[in-house]
Amino acid sequence: MEDDKYAKELDVAVRVVHMACALCQRVQEGLVSASTDQVKSKDDDSPVTIADWSVQATVSWILSEFFGSQNVSIIAEEDVQTLSKADSVGLLQAVVNTVNECLAGAPKYGLKGPSKALTTSQILEAISQCNSVGGPKGRHWVLDPVDGTLGFVRGDQYAVALALIEDGKAVIGVLGCPNYPMKKELLNYHYQYHEAMSKSSPPSPDIWERGCVMYARKDSGEAWMQPPIHGDKKFEWPNSAKLIRVSSIDDPALATSCEPVEKANSNHSFTEELAHSVGLRKKPMRVYSMVKYAAIARGDAELFMKFARTGYKEKIWDHAAGVVIVEEAGGVVTDAGGRPLDFSKGPYLEGLDRGIIVCSGATLHEKIIDAVYASWDSSNL
């Protein structure tokens, strides 16, 4: 890894995603008793919280400090429009406090924080700097500060996703999944335990290995997963990481598929028709956020299909990090025509052929692609 030209970028990206996950966990735990001012609706009615802006400001500041603000191009989801409104004073102050609390802990993750607390204007500037439009040339960081905000608000699955795109190709992917346990068998226990304990006392993360962070570098042939750190422990990387691989299951009858929870931007009816035609028997896992990519990368599921409804445009920050990790773990990611996803056209996946297919292996992927072509003409898309 030391000889890799992306070694510094991957190192900083992993560390800052760990920081962001800790920030999100603190905010999510406070949402139950917090005022409704901490959750706002954007113009498209999707929710946004202080965690979204706080993570974006934190990641933007760290990347700019480490690599130089003139050298850092960031494509990210949030802007400061809502935060700048007159009725958002309390929300803005909460973001300022959250960011400074997070950055104060930067040394714990082996990163350098600011010498003094950032001002409101500095934090707004850090958020605003994430305004790159990307393109086919140069290096661009791609950030989804809280992917699956609806899941985040509901205490469910969500992810912090950070990727690096160079000359239109995703070369680094880091995916923080604060509510996705290191061990699959603890997933249901997570919900039961969280529900039971949230009314009495905070859960002890060490008991059930809450959360994980996955990362990969393109063409390395390796994808890694490590637990978050808790309490006063210092971050250790890569000593705490372990290799992950996709599942070897290629029989559709034995495969587990993932689907988006939201029906607003995904055609569940076509996906169900496709699943039936290819022989999928298991009920799909409907999961918020890029945790679906995480599930496939480490072998918890074999398939993720998404066919957007007419008019919906896929954003690169919803896929870039997950694509790198799944592919390096041995999986296959293409559009429904079998072509690699194109991250060179800016914030959107322009030219996407019908939908997105994520599989644990080439055999299963080929069967799904064939089924798409066989089913498409009779679909209701």
Burial category of 243 from C-beta neighbours within 10 Å (exposed 0-12, middle 13-18, buried 19 and up): exposed
Q: Any known ligand binding at 144?
A: yes
Question: Could you count the other beta carbons within 10 Å of the beta carbon of residue 23?
Answer: 26
Reply yes or no: is the peptide bond before residue 284 cis, omega within 30 of 0: no
Q: Is the CB of residue 21 less than 8 Å from the CB of residue 213?
A: yes
The answer to whether the annotation marks 318 as part of a ligand binding site is yes
User: CB count, 10 Å around CB of 259?
Assistant: 20
Instruction: Find out whether 147 is annotated in a ligand binding site.
Output: yes
Nearest residue to 365 (alpha-carbon basis) of 340, 328, 341, 331: 331
Whether 149 sits among the annotated catalytic residues: the reply is yes
300 labelled ligand-binding: no
Over its C-alpha atoms, the chain yields an Rg (Å, rounded) of: 20
What six digits make up the tokens of 2? 């030391």
Give 226's contacts (C-beta < 8 A, 6+ positions apart): 212, 213, 237, 238, 240, 241, 242
Q: Are 289 and 151 in contact (CB under 8 A)?
A: yes
Q: Which residue out of 52, 156, 300, 335 is catalytically annotated? A: 52
Query: What count of other Cβ atoms lies within 10 Å of the Cβ of residue 83?
Result: 23
Q: Is 370 a catalytic residue?
A: no
Burial of 96 (0-12, 13-18, 19+ CB in 10 A): buried
Catalytic residue among 58, 82, 98, 149: 149
Strands 257-259 and 242-244, by their bridges, are unpaired
Residue with tokens 């924080």: 113
Distance from C-alpha of 227 to C-alpha of 239, rounded to nearest angstrom: 11
Q: Which residues are annotated as a binding site?
A: 77, 144, 147, 318
Enzyme catalytic residues:
52, 149
* Binding site per annotation, positions for Mg(2+): 77, 144, 147, 318
